[in-house]
Amino acid sequence: MTKYIAVIGPAVCSSAERDDAYKIGEMLAARESVLICGGGSGVMEAAAQGAHSANGVVIGILPGNDHTAGNPFLTYAIASGLGEARNAIIARTADTLIAVGGEYGTLSEIALAMKMGKKVILLNSWQLQPARPADRIPLIAHSAAEAVEIAIGRHSS
């Protein structure tokens, strides 16, 4: 079964975050997962570029009304017209979310995904301590490869 994995993170990111996002995108495509992202720059673009380089499918959920406004590595661009509210669509669409770095938009996607019962993996991202339930605590990855392995389901965390 094809997995839909979202890679979320800031539009302005560090070179380390960019490298991690690119590797994650590339590895997800190699495992035939569909990459979901916000379609913009930074972590979103790096993950999309990585998946694109490995002939993967990338769906960008754009905040505006113009489907041509996304980064050039999207296979499909969806113009949601919802602004930041598009984060709920990203969280709902993905089976699992991998957060690389992040600002408050990333935090909102993490929170929405957790509320929806989705698996969330943090790679140098927000460190959350939810009070309950224990099975919905975000998982921590220490490398791009580990984040993908957890997302695909071959890691015992």
List, in order of start, the domains of the chain with CATH numbers: 4-152 (3.40.50.450)
The per-residue pLDDT for range 53-89, each reduced to its tens digit, is 999 999 999 999 999 999 999 999 999 999 999 999 9
CA distance 117 to 59: 21
Other CB atoms within a 10 A radius of the CB of residue 117 amount to 9
Q: What is the mean pLDDT of residues 11-25?
A: 97
- Pick the residue with more confidence: 18 or 155? 18
pLDDT at 110 over 60: yes
Confidence category of residue 152, pLDDT binned at 50, 70, 90 = confident
Place of tokens 């957060």: 99
Give pLDDT, residue 139: 77
For the chain, the first-to-last Cα distance in angstroms comes to 21
pLDDT at 157 over 50: no
- For 56, the token pair is 């993967």
Give pLDDT, residue 134: 52
pLDDT at 133 over 70: no
Q: What is the mean pLDDT of residues 115-134?
A: 76
CA distance 80 to 67: 9
